[in-house]
Structure 1
Amino acid sequence: MASIFARSARSFLTPLMNYSNKRVPFKSVRYTSSNQQPTMLMDLPRVVYPNIFFTIKNFFSRMIITGYFDQTFAIKSFSEGARQALTVVSQLIANDQFDDLQGFVTREAINEVRKNFHKLSSEQKQKIPVEESEIVFSYPYLIGIIMDDKTNTRMVEITMIFHVLRDRELYRQEILNAPGGVASNWTSAMKKMRDNIVVCNYKFLRDMSKNATDDSWIISGLNHWLPSEYEDQQKQS
Structure 2
Amino acid sequence: MALPVLRGCHRVSSTLSFTRLFLNEGRVLTRSGRTRLPPPPAPAAVPALRPYSSAPGGQQNQKVVVFGIPNPFIWVRTRVYYFLIRAYFDKEFRIEEFTEGAQQAFSHVSRLLAKCQLDALEGLVAKDLIGKLEQKLNLLPSNYKKALSVELEEIMYTTPGDVGIYYDDDGRKFVSILMRFWYLTSARIPDDTMEGTRVFEVALGEGEPETKRLLTAHYEFQREFTKGVAPAWTITRIEHSKLLD
Pairwise TM-score range, normalised by the shorter structure: 0.5 to 0.7
1:206 & 1:89 partners in 2: Cα distance? 18
Is the alpha carbon distance of 1:60 and 1:6 closer, same or farther for their aligned partners in structure 2, counting shifts above 3 Å? farther
Q: Is the 8 A contact 2:43 2:74 kept in 1?
A: no
- 2:95 corresponds to 1:68: no
Equivalent position to 1:152, from 171, 194, 219: 171
Shift, 1:147, TM fit: 2.1
Paired amino acid for 2:18 = I
Q: Which residue does the alignment assign to 1:214? A: 230
**Structure 1 segments (4+ residues) deviating >4 Å:** 176-179
TM-score by length of 1: 0.64
Aligned pair partner of 1:135 in 155, 168, 183: 155
Higher relative contact order (CA 8 A, sep 6+): 1
1:102 aligns with 2:128: no
Q: Does 1:201 align with 2:224?
A: no
Unmatched 5+ stretches in structure 2: 1-16, 27-41, 46-69, 187-199
The percent of aligned pairs where both chains have the same amino acid is 27
- Structure 1, unaligned runs of 5 or more: 14-46, 180-187, 231-237
Pick the structure with more strand per residue: 2
Once residues 79 and 217 of structure 1 are traced to their aligned partners in structure 2, the CA distance between those partners, rounded to angstroms, is 13
Give the whole-Å Cα distance in 2 for the aligned partners of 1:177 and 1:140: 37
CA contact (8 A) 1:134 1:165 kept: yes
Q: How does 1:40-79 map to 2 (within 5 A)?
A: 49-50=44-45, 52=71, 53-79=73-99
8 Å CA contact 1:7, 1:215 repeated in 2: no
Residue 165 of structure 1 corresponds to: 184
Q: How many residues align?
A: 176
| TM-score after normalising by structure 2 | 0.63
Secondary structure of 1:204 counterpart: strand
Name the structure where helix makes up a greater proportion of residues.
Answer: 1
Partner residue, 1:224? 240
1:24 alignment partner in structure 2: none
Q: Name the CA distance, whole Å, in 1 between partners of 2:207 and 2:114.
A: 33
Q: CA deviation at 1:224?
A: 1.1
